[in-house]
Every structure is written in C-alpha cells, then in structure tokens.
Amino acid sequence: MNKTVLTIVQTDTGGKEAKFVVTGERNGVILFEEEFLYSGQVNPLNLLIAKEKFMKKAQLDGEDFSTECIFKLLSDITDSKFNTLADYREREVDTRIKVVEVKNILEKLHTIAREINKPFDSGETIVEYNKRYGGIPTEIAKAVTHPIFFPKEECVYIDKESL
C-alpha cells in the first residue's frame, strides 16, 4: 500500500507574520518542500483561538474542525509570498529492499523446508514457496534468494537487457 503525506508547518510569533513550509512525500521519500512567507491583514491560524470559536458554533453548523483548519491554512498560504528556496528533489524510484519483507520470506522458506523435510537451500523448498505464495518480488529474488538457490558457479545467468 502506498502512503502519501502532505505536511504543512506554520511558524509564527503570535503576530500577523508567519512562515509556512509545505512538504510532500510518497512512501517515505520527500519529493518536494516549499516555503511561503505570510504577512497579512489578519493573524495566521491560531489553533487555540480557532478551537474555542469552533466549539461555540460547531453544534449549530455541523462542520468539522479539520476542514476548517485546512481551509484557513490554505487561505493563508495563498495570500503568502512564495519563497524561492524551494526543494524539488529528483529521486529515482526507491529500489532498496525492505528488511522486514526479506525476513518474512526467509522465515517462510525455513518453515517450508522443515515441513517438507528438505534442506533450506533445496530446489523443492523454493518451488513449494512459489506454489504457496506466488513467487518472490524480483528485487528480493535477485539480491537474496537467487544467490542461495542458484549459486553463480552452478548457473548460467542471462541478462535480458543485453539480448
């Protein structure tokens, strides 16, 4: 499952000036960060004051506090001056292997080997794993299971890209 996080951080001293930093990330990788400087006619969002006002009128309007806060922040950012210190990170897709996923696969392989009474690194073990779980993600297979089940000195590897 993918996770997208958009963070808005407001820094102010209680007056009519504030700084907003908006950060966007996907699956833990920061993709951008922008800074806005606010100097408006009204004070930027103050959660304590906003909550007090909201609680007085909430029963009448049937609105939610989150939406009201987000609209106020967006309004303040819209009225702000964009700071040129933006960071639009150029990132390749994160292909690092997740250690937890590798651990789970290796644990399942060990369990299967015990159940079928075969060595951990036998071909029957990996075949049974594939039957039960539908295979192993390519990145993990290349980096972890291929060296275990298909040692280079015993196998011929063909790089598809070179064909």
* pLDDT tens by residue, 119-150: 888 888 888 998 998 888 877 777 788 788 77
Q: Which of these ranges, 33-37, 85-89, 93-97, has the smallest mean pLDDT? A: 93-97
Q: How many helices (H) and strands (E) does the chain have?
A: 6, 4
Considering only CA atoms, give the Rg of the chain: 27
Q: Which residue has the higher pLDDT, 129 or 69?
A: 129
**Distance between CA atoms of residues 130 and 137, nearest Å:** 11
pLDDT tens-digit readout, 26-41: 777 777 888 888 888 8
